[in-house]
Amino acid sequence: MEEGSQLWNLDKVFWDNYLKGRPKVPDSFFERIFNYHAKHSGNFENAHDAGAGPGVHSARLAKRFGHVLLSDPAEKNIVIMRKALGENSQFDIRHSKLEDVDGIVPGSMDLVFAGVMIHFVEQPKGIESVAHQLKPGGTFASGEFGIAFIKNPAAQRIWTQLFHQGVINVMNRFRAAGNEAMFAVLQRAASMNGAVPLPEEYFKPGAIRLSLNHPECWSFYDEQCPPQLRHELPQIIATGPNDVLRFESETGREFTADMTLLKIIMSTYTFDPEGEGLPELWDELGEIVGDGSVDCAWPAELILATRR
């Protein structure tokens, strides 16, 4: 059966489109992480880029940390990493899931960074693995970027329908294959960082759950979980009583997109573009956007937590 991690066991062509169709993460996002870490730890020796894909964010981490471990469960991603990094001694590459801690020395990491991957990880195993790896005072940072937002209301309405129909088609595919275990991955993906527990057994009180550039009356769950599936995929809210919720904005998250870019963005979610209901919705969106472009933004979420 198809595991969540293997949804992203894809070739370089996909990842080239991924880099075009996913947000250009502003430097300020990583500066938030580094500033938080400097305040709570100050040690910049070892970082783990977990579920790194082909190493999308690893170079950013390497600018501040002396050594970066890249891990991913998908073999094709490991091959791409090795070709890209060569014999660079600043990086080590590990073919594994986040949950697999054999071979990782307990308390050896100053930072564990999970970039758009934590929803693939079964909880609480995932957070227990993070706690195993982190030094006391070390930082867990989980960034989730979700789906883009279109500022044109008519285009946004169709955009939401496109994503919802894509999720419905994926659910139907899993159901037909008897792979209902994948429903949990979709549920966590819709719930974003809200599905991640931060037990105070492992983390100091006051962990930050940050929502960035969220439009008014908007949520990732509403955008990413079709109404007709919410009884099967109810929102997970793992927020602890001492977690700190913040809603902020940062520059560098706005962009313009024509129909070509919008289709590239949607392709990064592995939906079949010819799947049921999608061609008709693309036609509707094309009538609105035409040969022009629409203003868009990338909302995001970020967890920042300190290991006891």
Q: What is the pLDDT of residue 210?
A: 98
Q: What is the pLDDT of residue 89?
A: 92
Q: What number is the average pLDDT over the span 193-212?
A: 98
Sheet arrangement for strand 208-212: 91-95, 67-72, 46-50, 109-115, 134-144, 300-306, 208-212, 244-248
Answer whether residue 161 is part of any domain: no
Answer whether residue 58 is part of any domain: yes
Residue 87's CATH number: 3.40.50.150
Q: What is the pLDDT of residue 2?
A: 46
- Quote the domain boundaries for residue 29: 4-150+191-256+297-306
Answer whether residue 100 is part of any domain: yes
Q: What is the pLDDT of residue 3?
A: 53
Banded model confidence at residue 18, pLDDT cuts 50, 70, 90: confident
Answer whether residue 274 is part of any domain: no
Q: What is the pLDDT of residue 257?
A: 97
- Helix, strand, coil in percent for the chain, rounding step 5: 40, 20, 40
| pLDDT reading at 83 higher than 70 | yes
pTM of the model: 0.94
Tokens found for residue 123: 């909880």
- Please count the structural domains in the chain: 1
Answer whether residue 104 is part of any domain: yes
| Cis previous bond, 73, omega within 30 | no
117-166: pLDDT as tens digits: 999 999 999 999 999 999 999 999 999 998 999 999 999 999 999 999 99
Q: Cβ(198)–Cβ(240) under 8 Å? A: yes
Q: Cβ(209)–Cβ(294) under 8 Å? A: no
Answer whether residue 236 is part of any domain: yes
Gyration radius (Cα) of the chain, Å: 19
28-68: pLDDT as tens digits: 999 999 999 999 999 999 999 999 988 999 999 999 999 99
Answer whether residue 176 is part of any domain: no
Sheet arrangement for strand 149-150: 149-150, 294-297, 254-257
The residue type at 36: Y
